[in-house]
Structure 1
């Protein structure tokens, strides 16, 4: 036990500083260090030769930090997917009745942004999003080539992405068949 305590005292501070290069939150780095030292204790790594032990500790901290970062990335991605899923659920829930307050607020901004588009882009967006027409149907209705419809739709959406938030774009993309409410 005395050897382990000496190793802990000797390396803890430098390992903490090293871990902070990967993870900015000190408490999270301390969690990684706790895992590393638990492994050292359980697997009796403290009995290793000094140079091997030092390499083991620093490699373990680096790997632990990288695993933590990967895990946080997965958690963040899951949270983002859940957020979009809830928003989609909310949009579908309110389709039959009154629109949610969030959607109402965003819809005003969306309609305003659409109104600011050139007429030929605005027309394509309205046919696509509000009337729910497919590109081929828009092409036939306006008597223009399909590729022109695709290009105008792409340019219209690109322009809207510059002025709308991600959430507003999400709402716009899920408005198919919604009546034009202004």
Structure 2
């Protein structure tokens, strides 16, 4: 069995010869198999680009098989990508909620009750409560800002919560 003269295709003349010999058949294969929509010409060119990048690993005898496999795999990946895109197009963002008008009205009434109840708290209780629940500050931070002890902050928040529960449940 004769030994091949070259074991890779890194020579420009050899690569050019393989390109000219197999490009049109690769393009035709991809076009007939997948159609024009997925741009088979680009995929054929990319397959030969990958062949050039890996020219040291591919022998001239395996070059045709290599570019056809690479081109086919690229097209299959493109098909998978288009399927994912189509799935995401099917999912429509919700433009409505499942909340009925009665629920929305009750929510508004509850917010009004809560605002009235917070307005009825003493200033020290209201400040400590809002700093904790609205601004998310910890008891130590509130104590430092108000220049009081942590226990005093805890007591003010506890009293505020107790008053809010009583007032909201009464109404």
TM-score, reference length from structure 2: 0.45
More helix by share: 1
Bigger-Rg structure (1/2): 2
